[in-house]
């Protein structure tokens, strides 16, 4: 059994203009989790974001949507981790993943940033790569020069449907993640994903 997750961070960019984009899938996931747990977000200036306190089976955790824009997400994550003395291993970052097709979702611990600016910022600010990541596939445009434009646009209709299914599937393993049974969560999620 791993350490229980004490904070879940959904990555995205603030503002209506970015709300439906591929890059904001982390915000979207966190909104769904907050709805499930009947948690409501409020502005927390000292954490540079929108925060909610949530409870799952007597386990309390924080939900955070950084409002710093993607490239500075680490400022918000580091601020709340320092304040509540949360170790990187107790952090789950939910983000869009270019290397996975829409409909695929993977859970993993550690690793590099893989070119994701939000992860780069978090690694730099925490001085650690050992946080958990829930990687929600959005696909790749096929050309590295098209990536920025691609992630800042909404997914096509059929992609959006696959992404929704992946989010729903990952929501089902949340109780396992919350209590720190991440190995079981990974097994269940990846077994379902790869069928």
Known binding residue 117? Answer is: yes
Domains, the chain, ordered by start: 7-193 (3.40.50.1470)
Structure tokens at 33: 């989790």
Q: Which residues are catalytic?
A: 23
Q: What is the pLDDT of residue 60?
A: 87
Q: pLDDT digit string (tens) for 60-112?
A: 899 999 999 999 999 999 999 999 999 999 999 999 999 999 999 999 999 99
The radius of gyration computed from the CA coordinates of the chain, to the nearest angstrom, equals 15
Please tell me the distance from the alpha carbon of residue 77 to that of residue 48, in angstroms, as a whole number.
9
Q: For residue 143, say whether it is annotated as part of any ligand binding site.
A: no
Q: For residue range 139-150, what is the model confidence (pLDDT) as tens digits? A: 999 999 999 999
Report DSSP letters for 53-82, one per residue: EEEETTEEEEEEEE-S-GGGHHHHHHHHHH
| Strands across the sheet containing 7-10 | 42-44, 49-56, 59-66, 7-10, 91-97, 132-137, 105-109
- Asked if residue 117 lies in contact with residue 72, where contact means CB atoms within 8 angstroms, the answer is no
Could you report the per-residue pLDDT of 17-30, keeping only the tens digit for each? 999 999 999 999 99
pLDDT at residue 58 in the model? 80
pLDDT digits (tens, 9 = 90+) for 25-45: 999 999 999 999 999 999 999
The owner of tokens 């959005």 is 138
Alpha helix locations (H) across the chain? 25-36, 73-84, 117-126, 147-151, 157-172, 174-178, 182-193
- Whether 84 has a binding-site annotation, put simply, is no
The answer to the question of whether 69 is labelled as a binding residue is yes
Give the model's confidence band at 1: pLDDT under 50 very low, under 70 low, under 90 confident, else very high. low
């Amino acid at each position: 059994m791993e350490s229980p997750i004490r904070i879940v961070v959904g990555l995205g960019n603030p503002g209506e203009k970015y709300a439906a984009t591929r890059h904001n899938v982390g915000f979207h996931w966190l909104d769904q989790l907050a709805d499930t747990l009947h948690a409501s977000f409020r502005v927390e200036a000292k954490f540079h974001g929108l925060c909610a306190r949530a409870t799952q089976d007597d386990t309390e955790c924080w939900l955070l949507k950084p409002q710093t824009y993607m490239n500075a997400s680490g400022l918000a994550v580091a601020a709340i981790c320092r304040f509540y003395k949360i170790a990187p291993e107790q952090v789950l970052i939910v983000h869009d993943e270019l290397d996975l097709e829409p409909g695929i979702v993977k859970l993993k611990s550690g690793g590099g940033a893989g070119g994701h600016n939000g992860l780069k910022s978090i690694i730099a600010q925490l001085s650690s790569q050992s946080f958990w990541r829930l990687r929600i596939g959005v696909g790749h445009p096929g050309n590295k020069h098209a990536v920025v434009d691609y992630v800042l646009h909404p997914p096509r209709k059929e992609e959006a449907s696959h992404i929704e299914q992946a989010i729903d599937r990952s929501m089902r393993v949340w109780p396992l993640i919350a209590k720190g049974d991440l190995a079981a969560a990974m097994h269940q999620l990846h077994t379902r994903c790869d069928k």
